[in-house]
Amino acid sequence: MNVKETPRERFKRIATYRVNMVLDRLDKLANCANRNYYEYTEEDVKEIFRVIETKVKEVKALFTFSKKKKFKL
């Protein structure tokens, strides 16, 4: 790490690393789709992706720039 690293540079470096880790783990999860080695139901698959999609929505919300709206009746 560069001592003079800006917050933007640090974000890009860390976010790139972490996104690549997530993608790698999704590739590993994809290996579970091989029915020659694993047995699963449609309900199992729905539950897996329900949990993943919920977490993605939660994390995405943290990155969303809030637009403050004024209260009006």
Count CB atoms within 10 A of the CB of residue 27: 9
* pLDDT per residue as tens digits for the range 14-60: 999 999 999 999 999 999 999 999 999 999 999 999 999 999 999 99
- Dihedral class, residue 29 (left if φ above 0, else alpha if ψ from -120 to 50, else beta): alpha
CA-angle at 64, arms to 61 and 65, nearest 5°? 145
Q: Can you read off the two tokens belonging to residue 3?
A: 């001592």
Q: What is the pLDDT of residues 53-63, one digit of tens each?
A: 999 999 999 99
Number of H helices, E strands in the chain: 2, 0
